[in-house]
């Protein structure tokens, strides 16, 4: 009787082991489905690595039937992993408002970060964002000429590209420091992208490293 019971228990153990082995095989063979018109996981991963961390990109996703979404998602790539990459939603106005109030968690326009998995197969394209307004960058000689003519504490309007925020900043303020020979200057801003600042913010710019799109005297 004991031998018979032992054989029964052994058979049950063997069956359970085979079942678990079968399930593990099933999990390891999960099929990757790429939506019509989307990049393959390998293509997407290669493209992301080519662009690199810290860059601002525009991502176009596709629906299940292959229809592209109406508006691309603009993100700044924060990290690139083996299975996914993380992007921070680019929203310049939201970023400014959050800096004004450290307690602010959410403002209209959305934000935050998203993990994009390569195997999701729902990205049609990912391209590095090149702000078209940068192409119209103001001539350096013109800026230096204006700076030379400006007096300190004179009111100005400035437009420049903020690499950190990934967008164009339009501000109004006062020129508080300038060095024409070094091509550097500082402006104390009171208005930024139509947002009135509770406390003036000083921005330092260098024509050798920053993209200044416009500089005008407030008349």
Q: Please determine, for residue 37, whether its predicted confidence score (pLDDT) is greater than 90.
A: yes
Distance CA 105, CA 101 (A): 9
Kindly state the average pLDDT of the residues 212-217. 92
Residue 109 near residue 45 (C-beta atoms within 8 A): no
Of residues 20 and 119, more confidence is placed in 119
The mean pLDDT of the chain is: 80
Ramachandran region, residue 28 (left: φ > 0; alpha: ψ -120 to 50; beta: rest): alpha
pLDDT tens profile 115-143? 999 999 999 999 988 665 455 678 999 99
Nearest 5°: CA angle at 54, between 53 and 59? 80
Least confident interval from 7-11, 35-39, 135-139, 189-193: 7-11
Confidence band for 76, pLDDT divided at 50, 70 and 90: confident
Strand segments (E) across 62-154: 73-80, 84-89, 113-117, 123-128
State residue 219's pLDDT score: 76
Q: Please determine, for residue 6, whether its predicted confidence score (pLDDT) is greater than 90.
A: no
pLDDT tens profile 59-75? 999 999 989 988 888 88
State residue 135's pLDDT score: 54
The strand pair at 56-61 and 167-179 is best described as: unpaired
Q: Domain ranges in the chain?
A: 41-129, 133-217
State residue 4's pLDDT score: 43
Least confident interval from 35-39, 95-99, 172-176: 95-99
Least confident interval from 6-10, 37-41, 87-91: 6-10
Confidence band for 197, pLDDT divided at 50, 70 and 90: confident
* Rg for the chain, CA atoms, rounded: 28
Kindly state the average pLDDT of the residues 12-39. 61
Confidence band for 109, pLDDT divided at 50, 70 and 90: very low
Closest CA relative to residue 195, chosen from 118, 121, 91, 110 = 91
Q: Tell me, what DSSP letter sits at residue 34?
A: P
CATH number for 133-217: choose from 2.30.30, 2.50.20, 1.10.20, 3.30.230. Answer: 2.30.30
């Amino acid at each position: 009787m004991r031998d018979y019971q032992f054989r029964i228990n052994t058979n049950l153990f063997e069956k359970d082991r085979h079942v678990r082995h079968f399930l593990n095989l099933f999990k390891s063979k999960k099929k990757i489905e790429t939506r019509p018109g989307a990049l393959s996981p390998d293509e997407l991963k290669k493209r992301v690595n080519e662009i690199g961390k810290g860059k601002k990109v525009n991502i176009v996703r596709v629906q299940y039937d292959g229809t592209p979404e109406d508006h691309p998602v603009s993100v700044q790539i924060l990290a690139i992993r083996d299975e996914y990459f993380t992007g921070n939603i680019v929203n310049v106005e939201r970023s400014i408002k959050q800096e004004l109030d450290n307690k602010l968690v959410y403002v209209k326009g959305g934000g935050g970060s998203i993990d994009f998995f390569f195997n999701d197969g729902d990205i049609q394209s990912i391209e590095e964002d090149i702000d078209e307004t940068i192409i119209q960058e103001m001539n350096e000689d013109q800026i230096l000429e204006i700076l030379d003519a400006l007096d300190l504490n004179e009111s100005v309007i400035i437009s420049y590209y903020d690499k950190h925020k990934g967008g164009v900043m339009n501000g109004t303020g006062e020129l508080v420091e300038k060095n024409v020979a070094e091509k550097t200057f500082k402006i104390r801003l009171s208005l930024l992208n139509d947002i009135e600042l509770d406390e003036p913010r000083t921005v330092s710019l260098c024509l050798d490293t920053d993209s200044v799109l416009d500089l005008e005297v407030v008349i």
